[in-house]
Amino acid sequence: MTSVYWFCAILGSTLVILQFCATLFGLGGGDLDGDGVPDALDLDVETDGAADGEAADGDASGVPFLKALSIRTATAGAAFFGLGGLAGEALGWGRAATAGLAVGLGLAAIYGVYFLLRTLARFNADGSLREATAVGAVGTVYLRIPAARTGQGKVVVTQQGRSVEYAAETDDAEELANGTPIVVAKLIAPSTALVARR
């Protein structure tokens, strides 16, 4: 098992460092930001992250472990699995105890990185970032919007590569029905947009 622990520790640590460097130099996005980064194992799909800072569950929503699994969390898990196994062997623990320590640290790393990334995604969803990129964003009405600002409806727009939901009003003289293509004219509140027919 020593060779397995060494392999996981070296490979996982190397990939974690490469991911950190890529993020530092702007070459990679976060797992949970929904920006289309090709994370092959990422099963978490965000549809409203900028609006309320929470990710909507993807296909794996019923399986907590799969929900947390992504490229970043898996590499961190592999690194800590290997390091835990090597630590157990260095302490002279038995094979079962060492394997238990390795698995425990690996799972702790997976969930730790997962929750850290979710927290960072919430920080990214501040009002100034949203307002700067919302104006001009296009989308569709999914809950009809009454005419001339007499009420609110709902729209989904594409903003920074993700789908974002806003409460919406319009200055148009006619109501905007479900499915109407729209463009955001401005934000009139942090989660409310003034939209126009496109």
Give the pLDDT confidence of 16-57 residue by residue, as tens digits. Answer: 999 888 877 766 544 444 333 333 333 333 333 333 333 333
Please say whether the beta carbons of 12 and 75 come within 8 A: yes
Please say whether the beta carbons of 198 and 176 come within 8 A: no
The stretches in the chain having pLDDT less than 50 are 29-62
In this structure, CATH architecture of domain 127-197? Beta Barrel (2.40)
Q: What is residue 42's predicted lDDT score, i.e. its pLDDT?
A: 39
Could you give the CA distance from residue 44 to residue 25 in angstroms, rounded to a whole number? 24
Q: What is residue 195's predicted lDDT score, i.e. its pLDDT?
A: 96
Q: What is residue 19's predicted lDDT score, i.e. its pLDDT?
A: 85
- At residue 113, φ and ψ (nearest 5 deg) are -65, -40
Q: In which residue are the tokens 């700067």 written?
A: 132
Could you give the CA distance from residue 47 to residue 60 in angstroms, rounded to a whole number? 15
Q: What is residue 31's predicted lDDT score, i.e. its pLDDT?
A: 44
* Residue 165, token pair as written in the block: 């939901």
One-letter amino acid of 65: F
Q: What is residue 57's predicted lDDT score, i.e. its pLDDT?
A: 39
Q: In which residue are the tokens 């196994």 written?
A: 85
Q: What is residue 27's predicted lDDT score, i.e. its pLDDT?
A: 61
Domain boundary assignment for the chain? 2-124, 127-197
